[in-house]
Structure 1
Amino acid sequence: MNMHATATYRIEPCRGCSGQCPHALPAPEGFTRSIDAAVAASGWPVFLNDACAPRPPRHHEQFRIAVACCANGCSRPHIADIGLIFSQRPAVPESCSGCGACIAACPDKALAPGPDGAPSLDHSRCLACGKCIAACPEGAMTVAESGCRFMVGGKLGRRPRLATELPGLLDPRLLPGRVSGWLEVFIAGYEPGLRFGDLVGRMGLERVLALSLEYTSFFAATNKNSEGGSAA
Protein backbone atom coordinates (compact mmCIF):
# COMPACT_ATOMS: atom_id res chain seq x y z
CA MET A 1 0.00 0.00 0.00
CA ASN A 2 1.40 3.39 -0.98
CA MET A 3 0.37 6.78 0.30
CA HIS A 4 -2.54 8.24 -1.62
CA ALA A 5 -2.74 12.04 -1.53
CA THR A 6 -4.99 14.54 -3.26
CA ALA A 7 -5.59 18.23 -2.66
CA THR A 8 -8.35 17.39 -0.17
CA TYR A 9 -7.20 14.28 1.72
CA ARG A 10 -4.31 11.93 2.40
CA ILE A 11 -4.35 8.20 3.14
CA GLU A 12 -1.03 7.26 4.73
CA PRO A 13 -0.34 3.53 5.31
CA CYS A 14 2.76 2.37 7.15
CA ARG A 15 5.47 0.26 5.49
CA GLY A 16 3.99 -2.84 7.07
CA CYS A 17 0.86 -2.48 4.95
CA SER A 18 2.96 -3.45 1.93
CA GLY A 19 4.76 -6.29 3.72
CA GLN A 20 7.96 -4.38 4.50
CA CYS A 21 7.90 -4.68 8.30
CA PRO A 22 8.43 -7.76 10.51
CA HIS A 23 6.04 -6.41 13.15
CA ALA A 24 3.06 -5.96 10.81
CA LEU A 25 -0.23 -7.77 11.11
CA PRO A 26 -1.92 -8.59 7.78
CA ALA A 27 -4.20 -5.99 6.18
CA PRO A 28 -6.98 -7.05 3.78
CA GLU A 29 -6.23 -6.87 0.07
CA GLY A 30 -7.49 -3.62 -1.42
CA PHE A 31 -8.04 -2.01 1.98
CA THR A 32 -6.64 1.40 0.99
CA ARG A 33 -8.76 1.44 -2.17
CA SER A 34 -11.90 0.80 -0.11
CA ILE A 35 -11.07 3.73 2.18
CA ASP A 36 -10.36 5.89 -0.86
CA ALA A 37 -13.79 5.02 -2.29
CA ALA A 38 -15.43 5.82 1.06
CA VAL A 39 -13.87 9.30 1.13
CA ALA A 40 -15.18 9.96 -2.37
CA ALA A 41 -18.65 8.65 -1.43
CA SER A 42 -18.82 11.05 1.53
CA GLY A 43 -18.60 14.03 -0.82
CA TRP A 44 -15.57 15.46 1.01
CA PRO A 45 -13.33 16.15 -2.03
CA VAL A 46 -15.99 18.18 -3.83
CA PHE A 47 -17.06 19.90 -0.61
CA LEU A 48 -13.58 21.07 0.43
CA ASN A 49 -12.67 22.25 -3.06
CA ASP A 50 -15.88 24.32 -3.17
CA ALA A 51 -15.37 25.62 0.40
CA CYS A 52 -11.85 26.84 -0.38
CA ALA A 53 -12.53 28.26 -3.86
CA PRO A 54 -11.16 30.21 -5.62
CA ARG A 55 -7.89 29.07 -4.03
CA PRO A 56 -6.92 25.37 -3.74
CA PRO A 57 -7.09 23.68 -0.31
CA ARG A 58 -4.00 24.23 1.82
CA HIS A 59 -1.92 21.38 3.22
CA HIS A 60 -3.30 21.68 6.76
CA GLU A 61 -6.87 21.56 5.41
CA GLN A 62 -6.41 18.07 3.97
CA PHE A 63 -8.25 15.35 5.86
CA ARG A 64 -5.62 12.85 7.00
CA ILE A 65 -6.26 9.12 7.47
CA ALA A 66 -3.34 7.10 8.85
CA VAL A 67 -3.22 3.29 8.68
CA ALA A 68 -0.80 1.29 10.84
CA CYS A 69 -0.35 -2.48 10.76
CA CYS A 70 1.02 -2.73 14.28
CA ALA A 71 0.92 -0.90 17.60
CA ASN A 72 4.17 0.94 16.82
CA GLY A 73 2.05 3.30 14.71
CA CYS A 74 4.78 4.47 12.33
CA SER A 75 2.20 6.26 10.16
CA ARG A 76 1.29 8.38 13.23
CA PRO A 77 -2.39 7.44 13.62
CA HIS A 78 -2.54 9.20 16.99
CA ILE A 79 -2.23 12.63 15.36
CA ALA A 80 -4.39 11.94 12.29
CA ASP A 81 -7.99 13.02 11.75
CA ILE A 82 -8.76 9.28 11.62
CA GLY A 83 -6.22 6.69 12.74
CA LEU A 84 -6.49 2.94 12.21
CA ILE A 85 -4.26 0.29 13.81
CA PHE A 86 -4.61 -3.38 12.84
CA SER A 87 -4.65 -5.42 16.04
CA GLN A 88 -5.06 -8.86 17.62
CA ARG A 89 -6.20 -9.35 21.21
CA PRO A 90 -4.94 -12.57 22.78
CA ALA A 91 -7.02 -15.31 24.36
CA VAL A 92 -4.96 -16.39 27.35
CA PRO A 93 -5.00 -20.18 27.84
CA GLU A 94 -6.28 -21.65 31.11
CA SER A 95 -3.32 -24.00 31.15
CA CYS A 96 -0.06 -24.32 29.22
CA SER A 97 3.52 -25.49 29.66
CA GLY A 98 4.49 -22.20 31.30
CA CYS A 99 7.50 -21.71 29.02
CA GLY A 100 7.22 -17.92 29.32
CA ALA A 101 7.77 -17.21 25.61
CA CYS A 102 4.68 -14.99 25.45
CA ILE A 103 5.74 -13.04 28.54
CA ALA A 104 9.20 -12.43 27.08
CA ALA A 105 7.73 -11.35 23.74
CA CYS A 106 5.36 -8.72 25.19
CA PRO A 107 6.95 -5.25 24.87
CA ASP A 108 4.34 -3.68 27.14
CA LYS A 109 4.70 -5.96 30.19
CA ALA A 110 1.03 -6.89 29.91
CA LEU A 111 1.66 -10.57 30.70
CA ALA A 112 2.95 -12.06 33.94
CA PRO A 113 3.24 -15.61 35.32
CA GLY A 114 0.00 -16.77 36.90
CA PRO A 115 -0.27 -18.94 40.03
CA ASP A 116 -0.89 -22.11 37.99
CA GLY A 117 1.90 -21.49 35.47
CA ALA A 118 -0.30 -20.05 32.71
CA PRO A 119 0.18 -16.33 32.00
CA SER A 120 -2.18 -13.68 33.33
CA LEU A 121 -3.07 -10.67 31.19
CA ASP A 122 -3.28 -7.05 32.34
CA HIS A 123 -5.85 -5.69 29.87
CA SER A 124 -5.02 -2.09 30.77
CA ARG A 125 -1.48 -2.55 29.43
CA CYS A 126 -2.25 -4.74 26.40
CA LEU A 127 -2.07 -2.89 23.05
CA ALA A 128 -3.30 -5.90 21.05
CA CYS A 129 -0.09 -6.11 19.03
CA GLY A 130 -0.29 -9.91 18.67
CA LYS A 131 3.37 -10.56 19.53
CA CYS A 132 2.50 -12.99 22.33
CA ILE A 133 0.32 -15.01 19.96
CA ALA A 134 3.10 -15.27 17.39
CA ALA A 135 5.66 -16.21 20.06
CA CYS A 136 3.74 -19.11 21.62
CA PRO A 137 5.53 -22.32 20.47
CA GLU A 138 2.54 -24.54 21.31
CA GLY A 139 -0.24 -22.48 19.75
CA ALA A 140 -1.90 -22.24 23.17
CA MET A 141 -2.12 -18.44 22.98
CA THR A 142 -4.78 -17.77 20.35
CA VAL A 143 -6.60 -14.78 18.84
CA ALA A 144 -9.62 -13.71 20.88
CA GLU A 145 -10.45 -10.73 18.68
CA SER A 146 -8.93 -9.15 15.59
CA GLY A 147 -9.69 -5.93 13.77
CA CYS A 148 -8.71 -2.28 13.91
CA ARG A 149 -8.26 0.10 16.77
CA PHE A 150 -10.13 3.21 15.60
CA MET A 151 -9.16 6.71 16.74
CA VAL A 152 -10.48 10.11 15.75
CA GLY A 153 -9.63 13.78 16.05
CA GLY A 154 -5.84 13.91 16.28
CA LYS A 155 -3.92 16.92 14.97
CA LEU A 156 -0.71 18.92 15.21
CA GLY A 157 -0.39 22.70 14.80
CA ARG A 158 -0.70 25.49 17.33
CA ARG A 159 -2.98 23.49 19.60
CA PRO A 160 -2.04 19.82 19.14
CA ARG A 161 -4.46 17.10 20.17
CA LEU A 162 -4.00 13.34 20.45
CA ALA A 163 -6.74 11.32 18.80
CA THR A 164 -9.44 9.76 20.97
CA GLU A 165 -9.58 5.98 20.70
CA LEU A 166 -12.99 4.32 20.47
CA PRO A 167 -13.54 1.17 22.55
CA GLY A 168 -13.08 -2.30 21.07
CA LEU A 169 -11.78 -3.44 17.70
CA LEU A 170 -13.67 -2.71 14.50
CA ASP A 171 -14.13 -5.24 11.70
CA PRO A 172 -12.10 -3.92 8.71
CA ARG A 173 -15.08 -4.63 6.45
CA LEU A 174 -17.05 -1.96 8.34
CA LEU A 175 -14.33 0.68 8.18
CA PRO A 176 -15.25 2.29 4.83
CA GLY A 177 -18.74 3.06 6.11
CA ARG A 178 -17.37 4.42 9.38
CA VAL A 179 -14.89 6.67 7.57
CA SER A 180 -17.60 8.00 5.27
CA GLY A 181 -19.88 8.65 8.25
CA TRP A 182 -17.28 10.63 10.20
CA LEU A 183 -16.48 12.73 7.13
CA GLU A 184 -20.15 13.55 6.58
CA VAL A 185 -20.39 14.73 10.19
CA PHE A 186 -17.38 16.97 9.55
CA ILE A 187 -18.97 18.37 6.39
CA ALA A 188 -22.18 19.19 8.29
CA GLY A 189 -20.29 21.07 11.02
CA TYR A 190 -17.47 22.52 8.93
CA GLU A 191 -16.21 26.07 9.35
CA PRO A 192 -13.13 27.63 7.70
CA GLY A 193 -10.05 26.84 9.77
CA LEU A 194 -11.83 24.17 11.81
CA ARG A 195 -10.06 20.83 12.17
CA PHE A 196 -11.90 17.58 12.74
CA GLY A 197 -10.44 17.30 16.25
CA ASP A 198 -11.85 20.75 17.05
CA LEU A 199 -15.32 19.60 15.99
CA VAL A 200 -15.06 16.46 18.14
CA GLY A 201 -14.02 18.59 21.11
CA ARG A 202 -16.83 21.09 20.54
CA MET A 203 -19.69 18.62 19.98
CA GLY A 204 -18.49 15.83 22.24
CA LEU A 205 -17.39 12.38 21.16
CA GLU A 206 -20.69 10.64 21.94
CA ARG A 207 -22.73 13.12 19.88
CA VAL A 208 -20.36 12.94 16.91
CA LEU A 209 -20.31 9.14 17.14
CA ALA A 210 -24.12 8.94 17.12
CA LEU A 211 -24.35 11.21 14.08
CA SER A 212 -21.63 9.31 12.25
CA LEU A 213 -23.46 6.02 12.74
CA GLU A 214 -26.57 7.53 11.14
CA TYR A 215 -24.52 8.47 8.08
CA THR A 216 -22.82 5.06 8.17
CA SER A 217 -26.20 3.29 7.96
CA PHE A 218 -27.08 5.38 4.91
CA PHE A 219 -23.69 4.56 3.34
CA ALA A 220 -24.26 0.82 3.89
CA ALA A 221 -27.77 0.94 2.45
CA THR A 222 -26.60 2.91 -0.60
CA ASN A 223 -23.75 0.48 -1.24
CA LYS A 224 -26.07 -2.50 -0.89
CA ASN A 225 -28.51 -1.00 -3.39
CA SER A 226 -25.76 -0.17 -5.88
CA GLU A 227 -24.29 -3.66 -5.58
CA GLY A 228 -27.71 -5.17 -6.13
CA GLY A 229 -28.23 -2.98 -9.17
CA SER A 230 -24.90 -3.90 -10.71
CA ALA A 231 -25.51 -7.59 -10.09
CA ALA A 232 -28.82 -7.38 -11.88
Structure 2
Amino acid sequence: MIRRAALLLAALWAAPAAGAVDCSDVAYAGNRYSICEVDASKEQLRLFLRDGEGQVYGHFSTLGEALAADGKALAFATNAGMYHADRSPVGLYVEDGDQEMRLVTNAGPGNFGLLPNGVFCIREGRADVFETLAFEKNNPACAHATQSGPMLVIDGELHPRFLPDSDSYYVRNGVGTSADGSRVVFAISRNAVTFHQFGSLFRDHLKLPNALYFDGNISRLHAPQLGRSDAGFMMGPVVGVVEDAPAGE
Protein backbone atom coordinates (compact mmCIF):
# COMPACT_ATOMS: atom_id res chain seq x y z
CA MET A 1 0.00 0.00 0.00
CA ILE A 2 2.83 2.41 0.88
CA ARG A 3 4.61 1.57 -2.39
CA ARG A 4 1.41 2.15 -4.32
CA ALA A 5 0.86 5.54 -2.69
CA ALA A 6 4.45 6.54 -3.43
CA LEU A 7 4.04 5.63 -7.10
CA LEU A 8 0.85 7.67 -7.31
CA LEU A 9 2.42 10.74 -5.73
CA ALA A 10 5.41 10.47 -8.06
CA ALA A 11 3.16 10.21 -11.09
CA LEU A 12 1.08 13.21 -10.10
CA TRP A 13 3.60 15.61 -8.65
CA ALA A 14 6.96 14.93 -10.29
CA ALA A 15 8.16 18.10 -12.02
CA PRO A 16 8.02 17.66 -15.79
CA ALA A 17 11.32 17.13 -17.59
CA ALA A 18 12.77 20.28 -19.13
CA GLY A 19 10.91 21.06 -22.32
CA ALA A 20 8.15 18.47 -21.85
CA VAL A 21 5.52 21.07 -21.02
CA ASP A 22 5.67 24.74 -20.12
CA CYS A 23 2.89 25.98 -17.83
CA SER A 24 2.35 29.48 -16.53
CA ASP A 25 -0.29 31.77 -15.09
CA VAL A 26 -0.94 34.82 -17.24
CA ALA A 27 -3.19 37.85 -17.35
CA TYR A 28 -4.73 39.10 -20.60
CA ALA A 29 -7.34 41.80 -21.25
CA GLY A 30 -8.40 41.90 -17.61
CA ASN A 31 -8.77 38.13 -17.17
CA ARG A 32 -6.56 35.45 -15.65
CA TYR A 33 -5.59 32.16 -17.29
CA SER A 34 -3.41 29.11 -16.75
CA ILE A 35 -1.65 28.13 -19.96
CA CYS A 36 0.34 25.00 -20.81
CA GLU A 37 2.36 24.77 -24.04
CA VAL A 38 3.48 21.48 -25.58
CA ASP A 39 5.78 20.80 -28.52
CA ALA A 40 3.86 18.04 -30.29
CA SER A 41 6.88 17.23 -32.46
CA LYS A 42 8.80 16.08 -29.40
CA GLU A 43 6.43 15.09 -26.60
CA GLN A 44 4.10 12.13 -26.01
CA LEU A 45 0.71 13.83 -26.19
CA ARG A 46 -2.30 11.52 -26.08
CA LEU A 47 -5.89 10.95 -25.00
CA PHE A 48 -7.21 8.79 -22.19
CA LEU A 49 -10.69 7.54 -21.34
CA ARG A 50 -10.75 3.93 -20.11
CA ASP A 51 -8.33 1.51 -18.47
CA GLY A 52 -7.58 -2.03 -19.65
CA GLU A 53 -10.76 -3.26 -17.99
CA GLY A 54 -12.94 -0.73 -19.79
CA GLN A 55 -13.46 1.43 -16.71
CA VAL A 56 -13.39 5.22 -17.14
CA TYR A 57 -10.37 6.79 -15.43
CA GLY A 58 -12.45 9.80 -14.43
CA HIS A 59 -9.81 11.49 -12.26
CA PHE A 60 -6.21 12.63 -12.66
CA SER A 61 -5.29 10.55 -9.61
CA THR A 62 -6.66 7.34 -11.13
CA LEU A 63 -4.85 7.96 -14.41
CA GLY A 64 -1.64 8.87 -12.60
CA GLU A 65 -1.75 5.64 -10.63
CA ALA A 66 -2.19 3.56 -13.80
CA LEU A 67 0.74 5.32 -15.47
CA ALA A 68 2.95 4.92 -12.40
CA ALA A 69 2.46 1.15 -12.53
CA ASP A 70 4.09 1.27 -15.99
CA GLY A 71 6.95 3.50 -14.92
CA LYS A 72 5.38 6.61 -16.45
CA ALA A 73 4.23 9.97 -15.10
CA LEU A 74 1.66 12.57 -16.08
CA ALA A 75 3.45 15.83 -16.88
CA PHE A 76 0.24 17.68 -17.68
CA ALA A 77 -3.45 16.89 -18.29
CA THR A 78 -6.84 18.51 -18.78
CA ASN A 79 -10.37 17.41 -19.66
CA ALA A 80 -10.69 17.03 -23.44
CA GLY A 81 -14.19 17.19 -24.85
CA MET A 82 -17.81 16.81 -23.85
CA TYR A 83 -19.39 13.60 -22.62
CA HIS A 84 -22.66 11.98 -21.65
CA ALA A 85 -23.72 11.07 -18.11
CA ASP A 86 -21.90 7.74 -18.40
CA ARG A 87 -18.73 9.64 -19.43
CA SER A 88 -18.88 8.33 -23.03
CA PRO A 89 -17.88 10.93 -25.67
CA VAL A 90 -20.56 13.06 -27.32
CA GLY A 91 -18.70 13.23 -30.63
CA LEU A 92 -15.78 11.60 -32.41
CA TYR A 93 -13.37 9.86 -30.09
CA VAL A 94 -10.27 7.93 -31.19
CA GLU A 95 -7.67 6.53 -28.80
CA ASP A 96 -4.56 4.68 -29.98
CA GLY A 97 -6.19 4.35 -33.40
CA ASP A 98 -9.39 2.77 -32.07
CA GLN A 99 -12.61 4.72 -32.66
CA GLU A 100 -15.17 4.62 -29.86
CA MET A 101 -17.57 7.26 -31.21
CA ARG A 102 -18.24 8.50 -34.75
CA LEU A 103 -17.96 12.05 -36.07
CA VAL A 104 -21.11 14.15 -35.52
CA THR A 105 -21.67 16.78 -38.24
CA ASN A 106 -25.19 18.01 -37.55
CA ALA A 107 -26.20 20.94 -35.34
CA GLY A 108 -27.64 20.17 -31.92
CA PRO A 109 -28.31 21.52 -28.45
CA GLY A 110 -25.71 23.01 -26.17
CA ASN A 111 -22.22 24.24 -26.88
CA PHE A 112 -21.23 21.09 -28.77
CA GLY A 113 -23.92 21.73 -31.37
CA LEU A 114 -23.09 25.42 -31.79
CA LEU A 115 -21.67 25.00 -35.30
CA PRO A 116 -19.01 25.17 -36.43
CA ASN A 117 -17.51 22.79 -33.92
CA GLY A 118 -14.26 20.91 -34.36
CA VAL A 119 -11.84 18.05 -33.77
CA PHE A 120 -8.52 17.98 -31.93
CA CYS A 121 -6.36 15.46 -33.81
CA ILE A 122 -3.02 14.07 -32.64
CA ARG A 123 -0.78 12.52 -35.28
CA GLU A 124 2.87 11.48 -35.49
CA GLY A 125 4.90 14.56 -34.63
CA ARG A 126 2.03 17.05 -34.67
CA ALA A 127 -1.42 17.98 -33.39
CA ASP A 128 -4.10 20.06 -35.11
CA VAL A 129 -7.48 21.61 -34.50
CA PHE A 130 -9.80 21.08 -37.49
CA GLU A 131 -13.26 22.49 -38.12
CA THR A 132 -15.54 19.42 -38.27
CA LEU A 133 -16.51 19.60 -41.96
CA ALA A 134 -12.88 20.23 -42.95
CA PHE A 135 -11.92 17.21 -40.86
CA GLU A 136 -14.55 15.09 -42.60
CA LYS A 137 -13.32 16.22 -46.02
CA ASN A 138 -9.59 15.74 -45.34
CA ASN A 139 -10.01 12.59 -43.24
CA PRO A 140 -6.62 12.81 -41.47
CA ALA A 141 -5.30 9.63 -39.88
CA CYS A 142 -5.37 10.56 -36.18
CA ALA A 143 -3.79 8.32 -33.57
CA HIS A 144 -5.94 10.20 -31.06
CA ALA A 145 -8.90 12.50 -31.74
CA THR A 146 -11.64 14.16 -29.74
CA GLN A 147 -14.55 16.23 -31.06
CA SER A 148 -15.91 19.19 -29.12
CA GLY A 149 -17.45 22.56 -29.70
CA PRO A 150 -17.77 25.23 -30.51
CA MET A 151 -14.67 26.22 -32.44
CA LEU A 152 -13.08 29.26 -30.80
CA VAL A 153 -10.89 30.37 -33.71
CA ILE A 154 -11.30 29.25 -37.33
CA ASP A 155 -8.48 30.12 -39.73
CA GLY A 156 -7.69 33.25 -37.75
CA GLU A 157 -11.30 34.37 -37.23
CA LEU A 158 -13.43 34.13 -34.09
CA HIS A 159 -16.51 31.93 -34.19
CA PRO A 160 -19.23 33.99 -35.93
CA ARG A 161 -21.69 33.56 -33.06
CA PHE A 162 -19.41 35.08 -30.39
CA LEU A 163 -20.63 38.46 -29.13
CA PRO A 164 -18.30 41.07 -27.58
CA ASP A 165 -21.08 42.15 -25.19
CA SER A 166 -22.19 38.64 -24.17
CA ASP A 167 -23.29 38.21 -20.55
CA SER A 168 -22.58 34.42 -20.51
CA TYR A 169 -19.63 34.02 -18.16
CA TYR A 170 -18.10 30.66 -17.20
CA VAL A 171 -14.76 29.13 -16.37
CA ARG A 172 -13.67 27.70 -19.74
CA ASN A 173 -10.91 25.53 -21.16
CA GLY A 174 -9.73 24.70 -24.67
CA VAL A 175 -6.81 24.09 -27.02
CA GLY A 176 -5.20 25.91 -29.92
CA THR A 177 -2.63 24.77 -32.50
CA SER A 178 -0.12 26.41 -34.82
CA ALA A 179 -0.24 26.05 -38.60
CA ASP A 180 2.63 23.55 -38.63
CA GLY A 181 1.07 21.47 -35.85
CA SER A 182 4.08 21.64 -33.54
CA ARG A 183 2.84 24.23 -31.04
CA VAL A 184 -0.11 23.11 -28.92
CA VAL A 185 -1.45 25.46 -26.26
CA PHE A 186 -4.00 24.45 -23.64
CA ALA A 187 -5.69 27.17 -21.61
CA ILE A 188 -8.14 27.30 -18.72
CA SER A 189 -9.56 30.52 -17.36
CA ARG A 190 -8.98 31.29 -13.70
CA ASN A 191 -12.09 33.47 -13.59
CA ALA A 192 -15.35 33.36 -15.52
CA VAL A 193 -15.02 34.62 -19.11
CA THR A 194 -17.20 34.89 -22.22
CA PHE A 195 -16.64 32.91 -25.41
CA HIS A 196 -15.52 36.11 -27.13
CA GLN A 197 -12.92 36.80 -24.44
CA PHE A 198 -11.69 33.20 -24.47
CA GLY A 199 -11.44 33.01 -28.25
CA SER A 200 -9.59 36.33 -28.31
CA LEU A 201 -6.99 34.89 -25.95
CA PHE A 202 -6.09 32.23 -28.53
CA ARG A 203 -6.28 34.48 -31.58
CA ASP A 204 -4.85 37.77 -30.34
CA HIS A 205 -2.59 36.85 -27.43
CA LEU A 206 -1.39 33.33 -28.28
CA LYS A 207 -1.45 34.02 -32.05
CA LEU A 208 -2.92 30.64 -32.96
CA PRO A 209 -4.98 30.25 -36.17
CA ASN A 210 -7.29 27.51 -34.88
CA ALA A 211 -8.64 26.78 -31.43
CA LEU A 212 -11.33 24.55 -29.94
CA TYR A 213 -13.47 24.81 -26.81
CA PHE A 214 -13.38 21.79 -24.51
CA ASP A 215 -15.84 22.62 -21.71
CA GLY A 216 -17.01 25.02 -19.04
CA ASN A 217 -17.42 24.88 -15.28
CA ILE A 218 -16.41 21.21 -15.02
CA SER A 219 -13.01 22.10 -16.56
CA ARG A 220 -9.98 20.94 -14.62
CA LEU A 221 -6.19 21.08 -14.92
CA HIS A 222 -3.29 18.92 -13.78
CA ALA A 223 -0.14 21.04 -13.92
CA PRO A 224 2.60 20.11 -11.42
CA GLN A 225 4.62 23.18 -12.51
CA LEU A 226 1.82 25.31 -11.08
CA GLY A 227 1.28 23.14 -8.00
CA ARG A 228 -2.16 22.29 -9.30
CA SER A 229 -4.10 19.04 -9.75
CA ASP A 230 -7.82 19.74 -9.65
CA ALA A 231 -10.23 17.20 -8.17
CA GLY A 232 -14.00 16.97 -8.53
CA PHE A 233 -16.67 15.06 -10.40
CA MET A 234 -15.58 12.31 -12.76
CA MET A 235 -14.39 13.47 -16.18
CA GLY A 236 -14.77 11.84 -19.58
CA PRO A 237 -11.91 12.13 -22.11
CA VAL A 238 -8.62 13.51 -20.81
CA VAL A 239 -5.65 14.76 -22.83
CA GLY A 240 -2.19 14.64 -21.30
CA VAL A 241 1.55 14.51 -21.77
CA VAL A 242 3.22 11.31 -20.62
CA GLU A 243 6.88 11.00 -19.67
CA ASP A 244 9.15 8.53 -17.89
CA ALA A 245 8.75 8.55 -14.13
CA PRO A 246 11.68 10.05 -12.13
CA ALA A 247 14.64 7.70 -11.67
CA GLY A 248 14.38 5.56 -8.56
CA GLU A 249 10.60 5.66 -8.40
Task: Give the alignment's TM-score, normalised by structure 2.
Answer: 0.25
Which structure would you say has the larger Rg? 1
Higher relative contact order (CA 8 A, sep 6+): 2
**1 or 2, which has the higher strand percentage?**
2
